[in-house]
Structure 1
Amino acid sequence: MPGGAGTFGSTPAEKTAAANTIETELQPNTKRATEHADEATNTAVKGFEDWDTAPGLKKAADAWDGQVKVLMGRLDSEKSALRGVSGLFVRNDIDLDDQFRPIGQSKLHGL
């Protein structure tokens, strides 16, 4: 909006809360779900070991594990980005303030 004060999509507190949610809920719950799925799949593979189904289940489990690894990496990246961006905005604001401060101080002020 021209001439008006801009707003960010979220506050530093909201970014911190989102990062904390990733760390305390999404990552642990994803890990638990993965472990549960791995246990169930391993049991199924053993139950079908004399069938052609066992290698197919193992292949699907390996693909699942790869996808979970990518997801966990993405969650780590998002968590780090959320925590880092708040500090980046604050440092940027301070730097801009420091750059503009001399402009507001007229050499005529002390005359």
Structure 2
Amino acid sequence: MRLNQVPADPSGPTPGGGPGAFGSSPAEKQAAANTIENELEDSTKKSTDWADESTNAAIKAFDGWQTAAGLKKVQDTWDQQVKTLMGRLSTEKSNLRGASGLFARNDLDLRGQFAPLSQSKVHDIEPPR
């Protein structure tokens, strides 16, 4: 097999991620965390409250029937799943907010490791003529 040319931008994003398609800006991470907090968590809570109200009314209406017991079991399962989802959303929100700080601290740490090199007299040496 013979290649006749080099790809136009070898440093650009690769299909499906990988090198060149790394990360997002701190602002994008913050925006995603805010979306989780202000939209997803809020909407999930409102939907859960609405579903619980409706299910409680149905359980009350079917009191004494097997249907009421079945609805209660479904409601308990639903509530556990919502609790798991809310925990996951909270974790993702915290991770997004923490990631920017981790990258910034890592950059500062690396800069600190290279600082002694910038103070070195090696860069003042004249090359031989």
Same-fold status (TM-score > 0.5): yes
Aligned counterpart, 1:28? 42
Aligned counterpart, 1:90? 104
Query: Per-residue CA shift, 1:30-73, capped at 9, x if unaligned?
Result: 00000000000001101111211100100000010011011101
Q: Which amino acid aligns with 1:106?
A: S
Instruction: Please tell me whether Structure 1 or Structure 2 has the larger radius of gyration of its CA atoms.
Output: 2
1:66 aligns with 2:80: yes
The equivalent position to 1:101 in structure 2, one of 96, 107, 115, is 115
> Compared with structure 1, are the counterparts of its residues 91 and 7 closer, same or farther at alpha carbon in structure 2 (3 Å cutoff)?
farther
Aligned equivalents of 1:103, 1:62: Cα separation in 2: 62
Aligned counterpart, 2:16? none
Structure 1's consecutive aligned runs of 4 or more residues displaced over 6 angstroms after TM superposition are none
Aligned counterpart, 2:89? 75
Aligned equivalents of 1:79, 1:39: Cα separation in 2: 28
Number of matched residues? Answer: 109
Identity of aligned residues (%): 62
Aligned equivalents of 2:99, 2:67: Cα separation in 1: 48
Q: After the TM superposition, which of the residue ranges 5-14 and 23-32 deviates more from structure 2?
A: 5-14
TM-score when normalising by structure 1: 0.88
Deviation at 1:110, TM superposition (A): 5.7
User: Unpaired segments of 5 or more residues in structure 2?
Assistant: 1-9, 12-18
Aligned equivalents of 2:99, 2:43: Cα separation in 1: 25
Deviation at 1:6, TM superposition (A): 5.3
Structure ranking higher in helix proportion:
1
Q: Which amino acid aligns with 1:28?
A: D
CA RMSD of aligned residues (A): 2.0
TM-score when normalising by structure 2: 0.77
User: Unpaired segments of 5 or more residues in structure 1?
Assistant: none
Q: Which amino acid aligns with 1:70?
A: T
Aligned equivalents of 1:17, 1:8: Cα separation in 2: 17
Deviation at 1:109, TM superposition (A): 4.6
After TM superposition, list the pairs within 5 Å mapping 1:8-27 onto structure 2.
Answer: 8-27=22-41
